[in-house]
Amino acid sequence: MENKSLWFQVLTHFDRNGYFRNGLTIPFLLGANSVINPQEERLTVEAFFEEIMDESLSQKISLQKCEYIGEYVIGIFDNESADYPWGGRSLYKSFGNLYITDDSFSTISGSHGIKAILIKEYQNRIDREQFSINERNWGKYSEIEISRLEELK
């Protein structure tokens, strides 16, 4: 499956251009359509979670809690690292295409628990159109974020 989802395009574009440290927040990814393609229906966190677990994606997806911003972030997980016999699949907890690269979900045994946490954390923020976190405060995209998102138009 070649994923044409806007969130995937944003993630790969930002990754390729070095626009983030560890990844992008779920509200950032799902709110991108408000800048790039406002008429497109926004994914729910639940639908997004199902997409990131899809094993036919061209890239592995990482999930971790970013210490810098204190939020869960989604990133591109190096396909080569995932396939190393001494790492990847055995070193990290994985659910389909999704790799948890820290211990933030160490007490959660299945993907349903992770999905429930992410929905609780982020669906209301997305519904309120709080897509970006700057200095630990949620709100609208900054001017530079808008500019970077508009590169995908």
pLDDT digits (tens, 9 = 90+) for 50-78: 999 998 888 899 999 999 999 999 999 87
**Residue among 80, 62, 56, 55 nearest 11 (CA):** 62
For 134-139, the CB contacts below 8 A with 24+ separation are 136/69, 136/70, 138/27
pTM of the model: 0.90
Query: Band of the pLDDT at 135, cuts 50, 70, 90?
Result: confident
**Residue among 138, 141, 3 nearest 61 (CA):** 3
When pLDDT is averaged across residues 113-120 and rounded to a whole number, the result is 97
Question: Using CA atoms, how far apart are residues 107 and 119, in angstroms rounded to an integer?
Answer: 17
Look at 152 and 21; give whichever has higher pLDDT. Answer: 152
When pLDDT is averaged across residues 27-46 and rounded to a whole number, the result is 96
Task: Yes or no: say if 79 and 119 are a contact pair by the CB < 8 Å rule.
Answer: no
pLDDT at site 4: 78
Predicted confidence (pLDDT) at residue 1 exceeds the cutoff of 50:
no
pLDDT at site 83: 55
Question: Using CA atoms, how far apart are residues 77 and 12, in angstroms rounded to an integer?
Answer: 11
